[in-house]
Amino acid sequence: METMDLAGKVALVTGSGRGLGHTMASRLAARGAIVAIHDISREAPAEFGEFADLDASAAAAGAKLGVVGDVSSESDVARFIGEIEAALGPIDILVNAAGGDIAAAGGKPKPNDALGVKLVDMHAMLNRNLIGTILLCQAVGGKMAERKGGAIVNIASSAAHIGRDDGVIYAVAKAGIVEYTRCLAYQLRPHAVRVNAVSPGPTRTARFDATRPLDPAMTVTEGTLDRYGLPAEVADGVVFLCSPEARFISGQILRVDGGLQLFAA
């Protein structure tokens, strides 16, 4: 049985209408948090067949509220943060899970390397990942500092820690999230606000399965760490960093990748 050590804590998980974010939101709710889920639109959770809409996603997660908006828009962020505060109260836990290696027109950028990626796709990926994370932290982190407490977890990626010739701007954006996390943790340390990041390795979400060929040898779920991760395994790391057990941990990057970093820097 889950401990209820997050009871009464208001949590926002961006990008949680589906995928990794949804599992994180569900795990936080199971620990007693009062959870708001978020996606870019009410219809977005249906894109890969996970939920009919945001309301269905919220119900499945045990969330109290679903909000929509573009995380790279200051006005959207201000609006949906206001909606959460009005309905649930001040935000105690922020998880920035919105992101993805997604082109301006959808799908993966083509080309997606260091020399060929198009400017419009650069803007889309930097906005969706890095800028969105920064805007949410700015909107919520200062208020946490005023209240002398809170936990922020930013979602980076194993891609942030290695050189690569594909998914380059996504990797750059996630590396930016890693450094921003450290800088924000430094700034908020005197105010008892903890800021950490989680870098997942390749993880089997509905989007992951639908947008790339899978290596059958990597689809096993036990008996080896040389495999794809599961959303619950990433979510457990996030919830730990939000929990009282991590009360003296800040400025850290937790790689949840089954030891992939041992072979990739």
Per-residue pLDDT tens over the stretch 36-56 = 999 999 999 999 999 999 999
pLDDT of 7: 97
Band of the pLDDT at 2, cuts 50, 70, 90?
Answer: low
The string of pLDDT tens digits covering residues 159-185 is: 999 999 999 999 999 999 999 999 999
Mean predicted confidence (pLDDT) in 202-219: 94
- Phi/psi for 150 (5° steps) reads 150, 165
Mean predicted confidence (pLDDT) in 57-75: 98
On the question of pLDDT at 1 being above 90, the answer is no
Give CA–CA dist 113/165, Å, rounded.
Answer: 5
The DSSP element (H or E) to which 135 belongs, if any, is: helix 132-147
Band of the pLDDT at 198, cuts 50, 70, 90?
Answer: very high
The string of pLDDT tens digits covering residues 221-251 is: 999 999 999 999 999 999 999 999 999 999 9
Residue 112 bridge partners (DSSP): none
Band of the pLDDT at 264, cuts 50, 70, 90?
Answer: low
- Of the chain, the percentage scoring pLDDT greater than 90 comes to 96
The string of pLDDT tens digits covering residues 5-25 is: 999 999 999 999 999 999 999
DSSP state of 164: -
Whether residue 170 lies in the annotated active site: yes
Give CA–CA dist 80/258, Å, rounded.
Answer: 35
Q: Which of 170, 180, 186, 228 is catalytic?
A: 170
Give CA–CA dist 256/230, Å, rounded.
Answer: 10
Tokens matching residue 56 = 């269905």
The pTM score is 0.97
**Superfamily of the domain at 10-256:** NAD(P)-binding Rossmann-like Domain (3.40.50.720)
